[in-house]
Amino acid sequence: MRLVLLGAPGAGKGTQAKKLIEKYGIPQISTGDILRKAVADGTPLGKEAKSYMDKGELVPDTVVIGLVKDRIAQDDCKKGYILDGFPRNTSQAETIDKVLSEMNVPLDVALSVDVDKNYLMKRLTGRRTCRACQHMYNVFFSPPKTEGVCDKCGSELYQREDDKEETIKKRLDVYEAQTAPLIEYYSGKNILKSVKGEGSIEDIFKEICALLNAI
Ligand code: AP5
Ligand code: MG
């Protein structure tokens, strides 16, 4: 299954993707995670990407499309994959569609996780992520047992650089202007499914599985 997860910053794309990996045995390709790793490693790509990410803006298409093309060509993507945070605008969507249709492996489904804007700020300012295993917590909704420490592996939790209120506002604006139009785009291709991303993580996951199993 080749799946795109659509949704605003904080909608729960990463949270649900991690559960989908386990259930369907396909990898998550998060362009945000790939870029954050490049920033942490101080690579030339990371240095270029950082200035955009810190401002809450999109990294240039050429950079991101190249990353995704390389990643989907790897062996573990043969059975499918979950694209999380990509595509992010119509140009990225059209480019990847063209690449995949030439390879005869088009996307199967674009799943939009819909969350009311009022919830997103709290989800993002409260997010904490494990440096080692990347498990995600939220200090308001799903706190770790010990503050700052991962329940799963005991490593340190950190807050993302772009989870500051001002940057979040910019990311939400960029989402509305550039990414939200993809809902129409995939609806026009008849591969759009939508799920309400409010309520418990488990209940949302069950609904997603029911939608995917019906394809
Ligand atoms: P990216 O990393 O993709 O960030 P994003 O789209 O802003 O989305 P998030 O990761 O913030 O949210 P999410 O939906 O994954 O939510 P999560 O599951 O973590 O991109 C970051 C930056 O990289 C961009 O700004 C851009 O600069 C660059 N970039 C990336 N891709 C790019 C591309 N294709 N092109 C150009 N630039 C690109 O959940 C959030 C919080 O809510 C967590 O604390 C979680 O525990 C909690 N939570 C989740 N579900 C629930 C629930 N049901 N109830 C209560 N809390 C919940
Ligand atoms: Mg994410």
Query: What mean pLDDT value characterizes the chain?
Result: 97
Active site residue 23: no
Give the three-state DSSP class for 86.
coil
Nearest to 140 by CA among 126, 158, 160: 126
Atom 23 of ligand 1, residue of closest alpha carbon: 32
Structural domains in the chain, CATH included, are: 2-26+79-116+176-213 (3.40.50.300)
The single residue listed with the structure tokens 């390879």 is 103
Residue range 141-154: average pLDDT? 97
Nearest to 208 by CA among 9, 19, 50: 19
Active site residue 88: yes
- Give yes or no for residue 171 CB within 6 A of ligand 1: yes
Q: Which of 2, 13, 36, 50 is catalytic?
A: 13
- Give yes or no for residue 7 CB within 6 A of ligand 1: yes
Atom of ligand 1 nearest to the CA of 68: 34
Indicate the pTM of the whole model. Answer: 0.97
**How many angstroms separate the alpha carbon of residue 34 from the centre of ligand 2?**
11
Atom 17 of ligand 1, residue of closest alpha carbon: 12
State the pLDDT at residue 148.
98
Q: Who's near 114: CB < 8 A, 6+ residues apart?
A: 7, 11, 194, 195, 196, 197
Q: What is the pLDDT of residues 189-202, one digit of tens each?
A: 999 999 999 999 99
Q: Which of 2, 50, 123, 127 is catalytic?
A: 127
State the pLDDT at residue 68.
97
CA dist 193 and 186 (Å) reads 9
**How many angstroms separate the alpha carbon of residue 102 from the centre of ligand 2?**
29
Distance of CA 117 to the CA centre of its chain: 17
Alpha helices per DSSP H over 31-164: 31-41, 44-55, 61-72, 90-102, 117-125
The single residue listed with the structure tokens 């369907």 is 24
Select from 4, 34, 58, 112 the residue to mutate for testing ligand 1; criterion: most ligand atoms less than 8 Å from CB: 58
CA dist 142 and 157 (Å) reads 13
Active site residue 13: yes
**How many angstroms separate the alpha carbon of residue 80 from the centre of ligand 1?**
21
Give the three-state DSSP class for 42.
coil
Q: What is the pLDDT of residues 51-90, one digit of tens each?
A: 999 999 999 999 999 999 999 999 999 999 999 999 999 9
Q: What is the pLDDT of residues 159-183, one digit of tens each?
A: 999 999 999 999 999 999 999 999 9
Residue 10, Cβ density class (10 Å: 0-12 exposed, 13-18 middle, ≥19 buried): buried
CA dist 37 and 39 (Å) reads 5
Q: How far is CA 27 from CA 76, 82, 151, 204, in A?
A: 7, 6, 23, 20
* Order of all β-strands in the sheet with 157-158: 136-138, 127-130, 157-158
